[in-house]
Structure 1
Amino acid sequence: MVLTPRRRRWPALVLAGALLAALAPGCSRTGGGGYGGLAEAVPVFPGDEWDEATPTELGIDETVLDELAAEAEAGNSTCFLVARDGRVAGEWYWAATGPDDTHEVFSVTKSIASTLVGLAVGDGDLAVEDPVATWVGSWRGTASEDVTVRDLLSMDSGRARDLGSDYLAIVAAPDRTRYSVGLGQTSPPGTTWAYSNTAVQVLEPVLSEATGVDPVDYARERLFEPLGMDRTFLTTDLAGNASLAFGAQTTCRDLARLGLLILSDGVWDGTRILPEGWVAEATSPSTDLNVGYGYLWWLNEDGRVVDSALAVSAQGDEDPVGGRQVPGAPTDLVWALGLGEQILQIHPDSGTILVRIGGNAPAGTSPFTEDDASRLVTEGLLS
């Protein structure tokens, strides 16, 4: 059974009141001139529920939005959501799922892990320049002793990895942390870029030791609960270690809340969650080896980049090429990406968030990718 796609809308009286508030003096988008209607300099933050508005009121072309939703449906999505400045312009659910149904988002988990590191940095529990060996004692006196937390976040740690170890063995390992820590070093840190699940999993003992809290609890208490991500949780391996490279379960609405936190520079409804400057640092190129990557976030910067689709899906060559992930799309696009085209797209300049969660596209059909998602900002904005 497939649920009929629907767009939730505000009642007319609520919309009218919001429209009047938005038209008050001083409520245009900073630096962008606003888009009329419901534009505000500061986004609205959801409580238990998201505020909603029509696409036109949010300065989004409804025709383009419907086209994107149709492409998402054809690509075997289970949910698709677009918001601007904290208000939902449209959300769709398929495959007998609804807003509260959780789904694994695979490597989107990495961007959650990055955010947990940001929280620990803000608390003073660690710094990105700290050697990982500070918390992983077995690395002391080895070729890995100079690997830093930044290296793990940037994917240039030089840790051993291949298709077998990074996708098959780690998934099967009963203790993914022990397996990941125990792999060797193939190159000095900072000299090669390689997308590595096992390197990211090493952040699990780093966070555990640095904060004194299990990352599952840390994520729930410090990130998910403050943002109202009530359906989101990290999963664990058989040994009870949090899986930080993949495995997070979430919903379209919850993932949009993480996007809104990043969009608002780490502040949630007036409360600073992430330390000042963290979002800018995490969503800037972390290494010249791949300017399309920050701290476990994908970027659309110009220069030497690794194809995100090849890296995330382990489909082949990760040799860098010149250009952008999505040519012609704005350079300030930011993505959290996971296997099977799990997408959280954030565009700071327009205040838009797009979430797509689902399975692999059926044979003979095109998957819904960052190229499709970027059409929201290249074709779908009225102003």
Structure 2
Amino acid sequence: MSCSTEPTNTSPTPSRTETTYFPPISGTTWETKSIASLDWKQNAVQPLLDYLELKHSKGFVILVNGRIVMENYFNGHTATTNWYWASAGKTLTATLTGIAEQERYLNINNKVSDYIGTGWTSLPISKENLITNKHLLTMTSGIEDIDNGDAVDPASLTYKADAGTRWAYHNVYVKLQDVIAKASNQTWNTYFNTRLRDKIGMDGTWFQSGNNSVYASTTRSMARFGLLMANKGKWDNTVVLSETYFNATTNTSQNINLGYGYLWWLNGKSSYHLPQSQIQFSGSIIPSAPNDMFMALGKNDQKIYIIPSKNMVVIRMGDAADNVNLALSDFDDVLWQKISALYQ
């Protein structure tokens, strides 16, 4: 059974010049906007909710111009329940890397060993020193991605190819958290909380799951981060992330996987690679979704979808839609058929 929260506030009928709304940093107030005010199709709402519930969803939010249009919870989940982001949280690390660069703690083009020392891999030193922070951001470290699980200890980080010559999805990106901690002389948690979480009113915490550093928060906190990125790194009038870095992180970052930025997935490109595969697929990652959409995608279908042309953010938290653990599945395409039915 699905349920939605009561509107906190009601906004007027939107106009083309409507400004983006940002909820207060503290408290539960968040302006809402009705389906009718957008001229969306009310009869498309229930099929979407039915599908979300069928596919083991827990939290779902749509924002337009920062205001909540839909907010629904399923299967005992509530607005105050934390849930893990899985690999959707990679985008938090990408964002903090950009913040650390604008504060001049680091340069993404510098080698990783400049910050955490040599010997962080088992590569020959000449090969290890090819790996820059940017290679970690773009999944082009060249480190072997087969049969090592998610481990990032030096013994598990072995050579496959020179950095920059091969795209492969790998947990080694998490070393950026060590880079930031060393460069800023702060703990990762402290830097994250002061530079991002507290500035936009998120809740949530990091926890260790095996070799992974995983973030967990409420659905609304995930939506807050989505809103920040939909506004190109600004929270209201405060620059959290520079627009220059925002543009780099949400556009094609290398020439191997066109559908990948700095730990963000990019829709609407001419080709893409998927995790655990070296196959190049033609066309858009999610054909039924807008071409300008960029995405944070996590295991068991944790999703942040951001559509700049519609000033829209969509969040989905929950269990795996189809008992598939990969970040991307047919669920995304069908879900977007049902979301787009709201406004097409």
TM-score by length of 1: 0.80
The residue that corresponds to 1:346 in the other structure is 306
- The match for 1:149 among 130, 133, 137 is 133
Change (3 A) 1:202 1:227: same
Equivalent pairs, count: 333
1:258 aligns with 2:230: no
The residue that corresponds to 1:235 in the other structure is 207
- The match for 2:261 among 294, 317, 324 is 294
- The match for 1:375 among 334, 337, 344 is 337
**Post-superposition offset of 1:7:** 5.2
1:215 aligns with 2:215: no
- Contact 1:121 / 1:275 at 8 angstroms: preserved in 2? no
Letter in structure 2 aligned against 1:143: K
1:202 aligns with 2:183: no
The residue that corresponds to 1:70 in the other structure is 50
Matched ranges for 1:117-128 at <5 A: 117-128=97-108
Matched ranges for 1:1-383 at <5 A: 4-6=2-4, 8-9=6-7, 15=10, 18-19=11-12, 28-29=16-17, 40=18, 42-47=19-24, 48=27, 49-139=29-119, 141-162=125-146, 164-167=147-150, 170=151, 179=153, 183-197=157-171, 199-230=172-203, 232-236=204-208, 246-307=213-274, 311=275, 314=276, 317-361=277-321, 369-375=331-337, 378-381=340-343
Residues 116-167 of structure 1, C-alpha deviations (whole Å, 9 max, x = no match): 11110111111221111111312493311011111101011101222x3234
Residues 26-48 of structure 1, C-alpha deviations (whole Å, 9 max, x = no match): x524xxxxxxxxxx1x3100113
SS at match of 1:88: strand
Please give the alpha-carbon distance, in whole angstroms, between the structure 2 residues aligned to 1:59 and 1:166. 48
Unaligned runs of 5+ in 2: none
**Post-superposition offset of 1:265:** 0.9
Change (3 A) 1:93 1:180: farther
Q: Which runs of 4+ in 1 moved over 4 A?
A: none
- Contact 2:148 / 2:156 at 8 angstroms: preserved in 1? no
Unaligned runs of 5+ in 1: 30-39, 171-175
- Contact 1:300 / 1:331 at 8 angstroms: preserved in 2? yes
Please give the alpha-carbon distance, in whole angstroms, between the structure 1 residues aligned to 2:168 and 2:78. 36
TM-score by length of 2: 0.89
Please give the alpha-carbon distance, in whole angstroms, between the structure 1 residues aligned to 2:154 and 2:335. 33
- Contact 1:350 / 1:377 at 8 angstroms: preserved in 2? no
Please give the alpha-carbon distance, in whole angstroms, between the structure 1 residues aligned to 2:53 and 2:308. 26
Letter in structure 2 aligned against 1:151: H
**Post-superposition offset of 1:67:** 2.2
